[in-house]
A and B are shown apart, each in its own frame.
Chain A
Amino acid sequence: GQQLNQSPQSMFIQEGEDVSMNCTSSSIFNTWLWYKQDPGEGPVLLIALYKAGELTSNGRLTAQFGITRKDSFLNISASIPSDVGIYFCAGQLVGSGNTGKLIFGQGTTLQVKP
């Protein structure tokens, strides 16, 4: 099935470091979302982006909706052990007859060393 290209696939960092991950697509989306998934749980929404060029923060998380509408990045500043998990980007088309189905990336697995 269709998926976005998300990188890196995995990261192993020291507590306190900043983290950056990104997502690219061959298709245009009008919404980009970032989710975090812990083992045995469903994805939890972190940030939603609705306009090309939009930069949005949620605590230590910052995400941007690319100008071309085909990419997005997520930054985590000053990482802490509870940031461990799998991060997914998802593109979405909403409005005008679209279902709003989410197209997901393959995920970035983040490990944080205390």
Chain B
Amino acid sequence: ETGVTQSPTHLIKTRGQQVTLRCSSQSGHNTVSWYQQALGQGPQFIFQYYREEENGRGNFPPRFSGLQFPNYSSELNVNALELDDSALYLCASTFLSGSVNEQFFGPGTRLTVL
């Protein structure tokens, strides 16, 4: 148990719709990162939030956006869904410090876009 939870577990949407995925970080962790994991691949970094501000973004378009709240929860929003957005979405929380940044993952949300 990592203490990181995600909801929902599974979600089915159609192309063009919008989706919001939620994550609850470990208590005390000031940083949350979101990753997209396509079938048979390693996770790919989407973006990171530190103290409620975006702190870095991977190679994902602006229709992927996020929010982080003071109560250790966060959201990933995806607009104008495309078929290729079908994947497992993982959040990972950590306490960002100078030298150690061990990230603890939630169980993920499986998104299917039809």
Chain A interface residues (CB < 8 Å from chain B)? 1, 3-4, 6, 31, 33, 35, 40-45, 48, 50, 88, 90, 92, 94-95, 99-107
Contacts and interface: CB of A to CB of B under 8 A. Distances in A.
Interface of B: 2, 4, 6, 31, 33, 35, 40-45, 48, 55-56, 58-59, 90, 92, 94, 96, 98-108
A95 B99 CA distance: 5
Given A42-B2, A44-B2, A99-B56, A105 B42 contact: yes
B105 A94 contact: no
A102 B58 CA distance: 11
Given A3-B44, A45-B102, 19 more contacts: A31-B101, A33-B102, A42-B2, A42-B6, A42-B92, A42-B105, A42-B108, A45-B103, A48-B102, A50-B100, A88-B43, A95-B99, A100-B48, A101-B33, A102-B43, A102-B92, A103-B45, A104-B42, A104-B44
Given A100-B96, A104-B42, A41 B101 contact: no
B101 A45 contact: no
7 contacts: A3-B42, A6-B42, A94-B100, A100-B96, A101-B33, A102-B92, A106-B41
Nearest to A45: B102
A88 B42 contact: yes
A106 B101 CA distance: 21
A72 B108 CA distance: 26
Contacts of B98: 94-95
A101 B54 CA distance: 13
A92 B108 contact: no
Contacts of B2: 42, 44
